[in-house]
Amino acid sequence: MNRLVSLSAARRFAVAACSVVAVVAVTGCAHPISITPLADTAAKPAAVAKIDKSVAYVITPADMALEVTSPGGGGDKVKYQPYRDLDASLYASFSSVFKDVTKAASVDEAKGLAAKGVQLVIVPTITTTSSSESAFTWPPTKFSVTLNCTATNPQGQQIAQISATGNGAAEFDEFKSDFPLAARRASRAAIDNLTKALAENEALRR
């Protein structure tokens, strides 16, 4: 019996040790992460009528391929592809606000969709920051995502500028099973704040 207990304890210790080793910083590395938002589990506010417009949002192939490197912990860095990771959530955000949403690979392509009823062209710009207070583990403990969206008509005249920021934080006990947790929390908050800002922007409804 004692032998079985000892083996079980040893296994638990080994699993815990592996978890710690996996996040120990190796100075100079850039660790790949995904900043895909956490699942949306927040309680939904009362439904607001969608804006009765068709929009095209623009993310170019170059944007989709863009890789960003920013600070992690222990002198290490993290690298990620913000447009790729947030594309699906941006589409979901726009779709919750506007009647119809199409993705375009360039501004010219989006403008060309006016013949098919597109009334607004939205170009999102994503910026991020990250940091960590840990000298021993590489995942960031703080992360921010800012979404700036420029909305124009198909002729290129600016209709509105919408900005939303999300901040995320996570400590070791939280991120040891989800290394980019701070980033994913920040992305979730940024998307939620963007959806709210779009829905409340009067210029987009005119």
Of the candidates 100, 115, 103, 32, which has an alpha carbon nearest to the alpha carbon of residue 63? Answer: 103
Q: In the prediction, which pLDDT does 43 show? A: 59
For residue 61, give the CATH number of its domain. 3.40.50
Confidence of residue 12 (pLDDT cuts 50, 70, 90): very low
Q: What pLDDT is recorded for position 47?
A: 67
Domain assignment present for residue 7? The answer is no
Q: What is the pLDDT of residue 42?
A: 63
Q: Is residue 8 assigned to a domain?
A: no
- Does 9 map to a domain? no
Across 93-175, where does the E strand assignment appear? 98-104, 120-131, 142-152, 158-169
Structural domain for 43, as ranges: 25-205
Q: What is the pLDDT of residues 97-143, one digit of tens each?
A: 999 999 999 999 999 999 999 999 999 999 999 999 888 999 999 99
Q: Is residue 19 part of a domain?
A: no
The answer to whether residue 188 scores a pLDDT higher than 60 is yes
* pLDDT surpasses 50 at 1: no
In a domain, 53, yes or no: yes
User: In the prediction, which pLDDT does 13 show?
Assistant: 37
For residue 181, tell me if it sits in a domain.
yes
Strand order from edge to edge, sheet including 51-58: 98-104, 51-58, 120-131, 142-152, 158-169
In a domain, 94, yes or no: yes
What is the percent of the chain where pLDDT is above 70? 83
Residue 39 CA to residue 37 CA, distance in Å, equals: 6
Number of domains in the chain: 1
Alpha carbon 73 to its chain's center: 20
Structure confidence by residue, pLDDT tens digits, 22-76: 565 555 689 999 999 999 876 566 667 899 999 999 999 999 999 999 999 999 9
Q: State CA 196 to chain mean position distance.
A: 16
- Is residue 21 pLDDT above 60, yes or no? no
> What is the model's pTM?
0.86
In a domain, 173, yes or no: yes
